[in-house]
Chains A and B, each alone.
Chain A
Amino acid sequence: MTTDTPLSNISPNNFEQCVKCTVCTVYCPVTAVNPLYPGPKQAGPDGERYRLKRGDFYNEALKYCLNCKRCEVSCPSGVRIGDIIQQARMKYSHGSAGLRDRMLAHTDLMGGIATRLSPTVNGILRLTPVKMAMDLTLGIDRHRTFPSYTPRKFTTWFRRHAAAHQERYTRRVTYFHGCYVNYNFPRLGKDFVKLFNACGIGVDLMPGEKCCGVARIANRLIKQATDAARTNLREIRTAVSRGNDVVATSSTCILTMRDEYPHLLGLDNADVRDNIMTATRYLYRLIESGQVRLVFKENGFPYHLAYHTPCHMAKLGWGVYSIELLKMIPGAMVTVLDNNCCGIAGTYGFKKENYKYSQAIGKTLFDSIARENPDFVVTDCETCKWQIEMSTPYRVVNPISILADAIDFEATRQANMQ
């Protein structure tokens, strides 16, 4: 070498590592059902070369990407294909998000309003004429039912009934409840507090918690997503500085805070990234290292559980923690369903233009659930839950709720007393 220029030949443009093997397109659930979508390889690394030439090579068909990240999981070269596609949508897509997208994206704002009027809102949203009207005016598919809103938010319950006695635990964890638990399904948050308290772990909340921002990112509301992410990171840093890890019962919230913040929003979270994890991973690691013990009900838990790995859980690589926890339950029969996308991808499946594809993508999963015919489908993702419950007759439960039901609360509490 004639100079000391460092010739590392490792491009900061991650897409260059693509060797065009096309395995991502094989694993893409959208490509299989939607001929309008160019597929992850075309939309990602291939398209990026053209967009670098001129932005108008951007193709609006990229909106069909679910952001399930299955392409990234399948890529042998470590190309962040999903990120490339999302970044392209953020950078080049024409026009701004419309009213529908804004409504769907602001899960916390809408949730805050709806919980106050929950009996009315829940009733209205179930009326066929209302669904037709939303379909025609907003483009929210008439086949969709919004999850019902709770009259009392999880945070309200926590403040009144749980906050006071968390002080007695020395081991503490910070719970990122997310919008779904807070506005729609506080039961899961209550189960989480019950289970963790039984394990001798105190639960703190983040006073300034915002929506993780995944729906805002998906609907290209980047400024709003970044604002929420900044607040959350500040809260997470406060929690971590007090020695807490931050856990959530939603795999998508975790993936967003760990990976989408740095990759898509450009926010550095390297100092706290390792402290952000799913509740099942946190719990499993304590059990495995002997620091926590679960004592299950004596009469056992005689149910057939079919575990569905959410796409974002697969991306995290942490489905195994949920599965192993379920397998600890005596009497429970645990089946792991083949790894398939349910098709809803958060707000994606609510949009009229995506409904058909959403259901087509989910069909393989629905069929395999029907074949297993379990008592419960178990999964860590709330939108997978909605989709499976809307599309099959089965009930879907978070593994944390299953564990909270299966343990002998008193005995577990005793076992974990210090």
Chain B
Amino acid sequence: MEKTNQFDVIIIGGGATGAGTARDCALRGLSVLLVERFDFTAGATGRNHGLLHSGARYAVTDGESATECIKENMILRRIARHCVEETGGLFITLPDDDLAYQALFVDSCNRAGIKAEVIDPDLARRLEPSVNPTLIGAVKVPDGAIDPFRLTTANIIDATRHGAKVLTYHEVTSLITDATGRVVGVNMRDSRTGATSSAHSQLVINAGGIWGHNIASMAGVTVNMFPAKGALLIFGHRINNMVINRCRKPANADILVPGDTICLIGTTSDRVPFDQVDNMEVTPAEVDILMSEGAKLAPELARTRILRAYAGVRPLVASDDDPSGRSISRGIVCLDHARRDGVEGFITITGGKLMTYRLMAEWATDLACQKLGVDARCTTDRDPLPGSEPSEVRKQRRLKGWRRTKSHVIELSTDQKAAEGRHGTMSSKIDRKDPAAESLVCECEQVSVAEVNYAISELHVQNLLNLRRRTRMGMGTCQGQLCACRAAGLLDSSGACAKDTLADLADFINERWKGMSPVGWGETIEEAQFMSWLYEGVCGLL
């Protein structure tokens, strides 16, 4: 036990909220340790729509959330430019829906400050050709797409730049309390080696999402969480370039989001028991409902290849016994356990959603600063994240897709353009001096050897799963078939791989299969079959 392991705050959880809180605390001059059980974005942060909510979805049922959403929406467009795609969104009324709801919807949006514009169904069909052509009404709202992996990574990078220390694959096993019952640190176990360690702090912030329930119980307090499972399907390519929602009370499978090279339909909402939150599997019934409801938004979905299915768990804080979980506010819950439960040194930040991660971080950090007697204002609504610095962005935009050399301007290759999209201005750090590094690791998602090497050295990569979340490697059509073994080779030779490379490769392939199996028909099963020939038959692996 090292006594020097002393911090102002320890943050538990490497999702968007934890990463955002670590950044905010670090920017305000606190010394920070962030502890994550597995990898960044391994929980609900990496298992959602990637929707940059305009707030319109909540406008009718939850005005407060809607107002938060639209404010954060506008902030993220500024500070996280490289994670955001400004697609715009449509709320469509289908013949089955009540057109009268549209007026209430627009009115509620306006009250929340969301620019909602009723447009002619014809115009909607022109703006978004994939939309269900039978629509009878359409409203345009400032929805967009946001990449939660990039967003979280950028927060982590900025936090570490400002002195934060980050530990992934460290699970908090218990909280350390002093004689007065005050929380003063955490005991951890390295989930790869089993080695135990501990760290001390004046404050512990629980940002563990649904797993925060267990963290809270370590402190002897109860946060009455409500695990609500949401399942989604990822399609092989983009069929829509605008977000498409149903203009009615929120229900199952009524949002279709274009995200990078793919599009996603979701979600469902079902209460799940706590002991199930670590093994979420998508059921055939969920796939059916996502497909049939999704095809109502865009009929082409029914004929589009599905890459995979996945499910996340929303960390809602239960306030009543509503079985659907939809009437519960998605509002932010920031608990000072000293006031609430008499436990000093412990804060829980939960509820909320990806859209409001920054505001959640601000609230938690405000509380932390107040408790620590630090007088520092939040600047995360103004300071751009690494990758989105405005001067650099302007330079990059002027030469979009091209690069100036001494004598002339040359076109960037597709993978270079893709890397610019993924890493924003940080892509200039990718070392492309060696022409061989231009060869591709992931062909579907255009990830080059140079980008993989950059991710391994700069973005906390210890295994293939980490690499996937940092670069999109293995997220494309073939789901790791061609890239996994190439990337495993690079990871192995870099020495960064934390465990046996072959075992890591097997884990990665099995994780891909887990998402493919619920939608295992058509081209998806052919792809999986081909993958098993390659890995089992040709390489003799797994």
B275-327 contacts to A (CB < 8 Å): 288-289, 291-292, 295-296, 299-300, 302-306
Selected contact of B527 from candidates A19, A38, A50, CB within 8 Å: A19
Residue B394 lies at the interface, judged by CB distance under 8 Å to chain A: no
Chain B residues with CB under 8 Å of A9's CB are 302-306, 521-522
Flag if B477 contacts A18 (CB, 8 Å). Answer: yes
Stretch in B53-61, B161-169, B381-389, B409-417 touching the partner:
B409-417
Report whether B418 and A57 are in contact in the complex, using a CB–CB cutoff of 8 Å: yes
Complex CA–CA separation, A8 to B292 (angstroms): 12
> Closest Cβ of chain A: how far from B359's Cβ, in Å?
29
**Least Cβ–Cβ distance between A356 and chain B, in angstroms:** 19
In the complex, what distance in Å separates the CA atom of A50 from the CA atom of B521?
24
A59 to B305, Cβ gap below 8 A?
A: no
Residue B88 is within 8 A (CB to CB) of chain A in the complex: no
Q: Does A338 sit at the interface, judged by CB under 8 A?
A: no
Residue of A nearest to B412 (CB): A59
> In the complex, what's the smallest C-beta–C-beta distance from A82 to chain B, in angstroms?
18
Q: Which residues of A contact B236 (CB under 8 A)?
A: 11, 16, 49
Known: A17-B523, A50-B446, A56-B417. A3 touches B292 (CB 8 A): yes
A6 at the interface (CB under 8 A from B): yes
The total of chain A residues at the interface (CB under 8 A) is: 37
Are B292 and A13 in contact (CB-based, < 8 A)?
Answer: no
A56→B400 contact, CB < 8 A: yes
Contacts of B481 in A (CB 8 A): 20
Q: How far is the CA of A219 from the CA of B236 in the complex (A)?
A: 31
Q: What distance in Å separates the Cβ of B6 from its nearest Cβ neighbour in chain A? A: 47
A36 nearest CB neighbor, chain B only = B413
- Closest-by-CB residue of B relative to A52 is B238
Whether the pair A5, B303 counts as a contact (CB closer than 8 A) is no
**Given A5-B302, A11-B303, also A49-B292 (CB < 8 A):** no
Contact with A56, one of B305, B401, B444, B478 (Cβ below 8 angstroms): B401
Is A46 in contact with B444, judged by CB distance below 8 angstroms?
yes
Q: Is B237 an interface residue (CB 8 A)?
A: yes
- Which of these, A1, A19, A50, A52, contacts B526 with CB under 8 Å? A19
Q: Is the CB of B305 within 8 A of A16?
A: yes
In the complex, chain B residues 429-468 whose Cβ is within 8 Å of any chain A Cβ: 440, 443-444, 446
Hey, which chain A residues are within 8 Å of B522, CB to CB? 9-10
Decide yes or no: A50 and B304 within 8 Å by CB, A3-B292, A20-B478 being known contacts: no
The residues of A that contact B289 with a CB separation of less than 8 Å are 2
**B305–A11 CB distance below 8 A:** yes
**Contact for B237 among A38, A49, A60, A77, CB less than 8 A:** A49
For B304, give the chain A residue with the smallest CB separation: A11
- Which A1-33 residues have C-beta < 8 A from chain B? 1-3, 5-13, 15-22
For A61, list chain B residues within 8 Å (CB): 411, 413
Closest chain-B Cβ to A336's Cβ sits at a distance in Å of: 32
In the bound complex, how far is the Cα of B336 from the Cα of A138, in angstroms? 76
Instruction: Assess the B302–A20 pair: CB atoms within 8 A.
Output: no
- Once the chains are docked, how many angstroms separate the CA of A19 from the CA of B300? 20
Q: Is B482 among interface residues, defined by CB-CB distance under 8 A?
A: yes
The listed residue (A12, A42, A53) touching B300 by CB distance below 8 A is A12
A48 CB, nearest partner CB in chain B, Å: 7
Mark interface residues in B468-502 (1 if CB within 8 Å of A CB, else 0). 00000000111001100000000000000000000
Q: Give the nearest-CB partner of B521 in chain A.
A: A9
Q: How far is the CB of B156 from chain A (nearest CB, A)?
A: 26
Residues in B with CB closer than 8 Å to A10 are: 303, 522
Tell me whether A1 and B292 are in contact (CB under 8 A): yes
Residues of chain B within 8 A (CB-CB) of A18 are 477
Confirm or deny: A41 has a beta carbon within 8 angstroms of a beta carbon on chain B: yes
Considering only CB atoms, which chain B residue lies closest to A39 in the complex? B443
Chain A, Cβ-Cβ closest to B292: A3
Contacting residues of chain A (77-111) with chain B, CB-CB under 8 angstroms: 77
B274 within 8 A of A: no
Chain B residues contacting A42 (CB-CB under 8 Å) are 414, 440, 443
Whether the pair B291, A5 counts as a contact (CB closer than 8 A) is yes
Q: Does A47 interact with chain B (Cβ within 8 Å)? A: yes
In the complex, chain A residues whose CB is within 8 Å of the CB of B476: 46, 49
Chain B nearest CB: distance from A327 CB in Å?
39
In the complex, what residues of B have CB within 8 A of residue A48's CB?
237
- B36 proximal to A (CB < 8 A): no
* In the complex, per-residue mask of B216-242: 1 if CB is within 8 Å of any chain A CB, else 0: 000000000000000000001110000
Give bound CA distance, A19 to B525, whole Å. Answer: 10
Q: How far is the CA of A362 from the CA of B292 in the complex (A)?
A: 52
Docked-complex contact B527 and A20, CB < 8 angstroms: yes
| Residues of A with C-beta under 8 A to B527 | 19-20
Enumerate chain A residues within 8 angstroms of B237, measured Cβ to Cβ.
Answer: 13, 15-16, 48-49, 52
B101 within 8 A of A: no
Chain B CB count within 10 A is highest, among A15, A18, A46, A57, for A46
Known pairs A7-B295, A20-B444 / 20 extra A-B pairs, C-beta < 8 Å: A9-B522, A11-B304, A13-B304, A16-B477, A17-B523, A18-B477, A19-B523, A19-B526, A20-B478, A20-B527, A42-B443, A46-B476, A49-B444, A52-B237, A52-B238, A52-B261, A53-B258, A53-B260, A53-B261, A56-B401
12 cross-chain CB contacts under 8 A = A8-B303, A10-B303, A11-B236, A16-B236, A20-B478, A20-B527, A22-B482, A46-B477, A52-B237, A53-B238, A53-B260, A60-B411
The 10 lowest CB-CB distance pairs between A and B, nearest first, are A20-B478, A16-B305, A3-B292, A5-B295, A9-B522, A49-B237, A49-B261, A52-B238, A7-B302, A19-B527
